[in-house]
Amino acid sequence: MKARIPGAGNAGNMMKRIQQMQEDMERMKDEVEATDFTASAGGNAVEVVVSGAHEVKSVKISPEIIDPDEPEMLEDLVIVAINEAIRKADTAMEQAMSKAQSGLSGLNIPGLGL
């Protein structure tokens, strides 16, 4: 007599769902990394574009805010804009990964918290 393991008949289906989730996560990761995220600071005086892979693509600075006597202000605005663009990219990645993982809800896989 063979021992029966509850839910063992669904192992193949579960593996297919896990593999699909992995493929979805990789695709979504690639999409987010290929997306550009724009942020500005100082009332649009500084605008930064960052890729989803956290690469700074461009920095635009309005000439009227360039003050040779206060370079720290300009430096601060650039930092604020870059950090905001990175936050946007991180949020998009978190949302994409959460969406991809939602396909595993209900599988009750120990350690995954799903």
Return the residue matching tokens 């997306």: 35
Using a pLDDT cut of 90, give the percent of the chain over it: 63
Q: Judge whether residue 109 has pLDDT over 60.
A: no
Model pLDDT for residues 27-71, shown as the tens digit of each residue? 999 999 999 999 999 999 999 999 999 999 999 999 999 999 999
Rounded Cα–Cα distance for residues 112 and 14 (Å): 13
Rounded Cα–Cα distance for residues 28 and 113 (Å): 21
Torsions phi, psi for 32 (to 5 deg)? -65, -45
Q: What is the pLDDT of residue 51?
A: 97
Fold exhibited by the domain 29-104: Ybab; Chain: A; (3.30.1310)
Rounded Cα–Cα distance for residues 77 and 5 (Å): 60
Rounded Cα–Cα distance for residues 112 and 49 (Å): 35
Rounded alpha-carbon distances, angstroms, from residue 50 to 13, 91, 93: 39, 13, 13
pLDDT grade for 104, boundaries at 50, 70 and 90: low
DSSP letter for 64, please: G
Q: Judge whether residue 2 has pLDDT over 60.
A: no
Torsions phi, psi for 38 (to 5 deg)? -110, 140
Task: Give the global pTM.
Answer: 0.76
Q: Judge whether residue 113 has pLDDT over 60.
A: no
Q: What is the pLDDT of residue 5?
A: 55
